[in-house]
Amino acid sequence: MDEQLAKILRNKAVQLLAQRDHSSYELSQKLLIFATKSFLSKKSYEKAAFNDDEIYEQKRAEYRLLIADVISYCTSHGWINDAEYVKKYIDMQVRKGNGRYKIAMELKQRGLQIEIVQSMLSNTYIDWAEVAANQIVKKFKQINKKDQTQKRKIVQFLLSRGFAQDEIKSAYFYCSNPI
């Protein structure tokens, strides 16, 4: 049964990875949900056997071990690479106009190691002030240096996008003082 279940989980992992890239954490969470829904709730006689929470959690622990094997299998075949995933995710979010803090927070929420995220953010050359300036131009079109309400709106907008204060100041200065 374990080998059959492992094969089913590997197939599901391949199916999920064919749709889009996943981090190892994301994939393991999706596989755990899949296994729990598919195998712990399918048959009525199994439902009766799993009314005890301890047995249910024991089965989930067994699934976690199988899923860890599936993740290592996928990693060994080059189908999952967390560092490459982080790099692609950073590129995508920069194109969307998000700052380093928002990107780092989202990647942390996706279960990626903060060391990998920080390393990739620091090793990737991105002019964050330029990204912020592009967002100001895109959102506000015209900048009035004397309008303090607009300046507060710009600062709040860029903070919500995950930019640092110094990046916001540089971007605002650049946009309000065109060459």
| 168 contacts: CB under 8 Å, gap ≥ 6 | 132, 154, 155, 158, 159
60 or 155, greater pLDDT: 155
- Note the pLDDT of residue 102: 95
At 3-39, the pLDDT tens digits run 888 899 999 999 999 999 999 999 999 999 998 887 7
Q: What does DSSP assign to residue 41?
A: S
Assessment of whether the complete model's pTM goes beyond 0.95:
no
| 89 contacts: CB under 8 Å, gap ≥ 6 | 103, 106, 107, 110
At 38-78, the pLDDT tens digits run 776 654 445 555 556 777 778 888 889 999 999 999 999 99
Query: What's the average model confidence in pLDDT over 67-92?
Result: 92
CB 93, CB 50: distance < 8 Å = no
Query: What's the average model confidence in pLDDT over 81-89?
Result: 92
* Residue 12 φ then ψ, to 5°: -65, -40
- Note the pLDDT of residue 37: 83
At 103-153, the pLDDT tens digits run 999 999 988 988 889 999 888 889 999 999 999 989 887 887 888 888 999
CB 9, CB 66: distance < 8 Å = yes
| 39 contacts: CB under 8 Å, gap ≥ 6 | 5, 46, 59, 63
- Note the pLDDT of residue 62: 86
